[in-house]
Amino acid sequence: GELGPTSHAPGRHGGRGNSISVVAAEVLSEKLKPENGGSQSKLSAIQTMHLIEHLTEKTYSHTHQIVAYVKETFGLDYTVSGMNKWLHHNGFSYKQPKGIPHKFDEAKQQAFIEAYEALKASCGEDESIVFIDAVHPTLSTKISHGWIRT
């Protein structure tokens, strides 16, 4: 008599053993999520809209703050790398201030010092000289850096 399917090595020819290893792989991949950046589509469409709206109104400097907000608001666990992927995917980018001073110009500085000395000499003792910084008048002072939608 011929032996039934039990004579095969489990899982070798797509038998029952295979479905068990698929389940095991899924359980394993759930456990591995933090290392591989998490799932990209954990938020529903409505939650995604809500989060985009929230991030448009409030700028976060650090991704982990957004991760905490998502956990608190939606009860979803994201890793920092998973959230970074989500942010880029949804049109957010991390901006740092363009606070680097322009190339130092010695001639301009010397001209300024001379003009300042002349101004000081021409001022009366009861007069004040006020300095107003005209650099980057458009730079928002409210936020130094953070995630913004571009």
Q: For 68-120, write each residue's pLDDT tens digit.
A: 999 999 999 999 999 999 999 999 988 876 665 556 677 777 887 787 788 77
Rounded mean pLDDT, 123-134: 70
Domain extent, residue 90, equals 45-97
**Is the pTM here over 0.85, yes or no?**
no
Is 25 within the bounds of a domain?
no
For residue 60, pLDDT over 80 is answered with yes
Determine what percent of the chain falls in helix, strand and coil, rounding each to the nearest 5: 50, 5, 45
Is 61 within the bounds of a domain?
yes
Is 54 within the bounds of a domain?
yes
Is 141 within the bounds of a domain?
no
Is 79 within the bounds of a domain?
yes
Is 56 within the bounds of a domain?
yes
CB within 8 A of 84, min separation 6: which ones?
37, 63
Is 121 within the bounds of a domain?
no
When divided into structural domains, the chain yields a total of 1
Spell 91-127 as b/e; 16+ CB within 10 A means b: ebebeeeeeeeeeeeeeeeeeeeeeeeeeeeeeeeee
Is 86 within the bounds of a domain?
yes
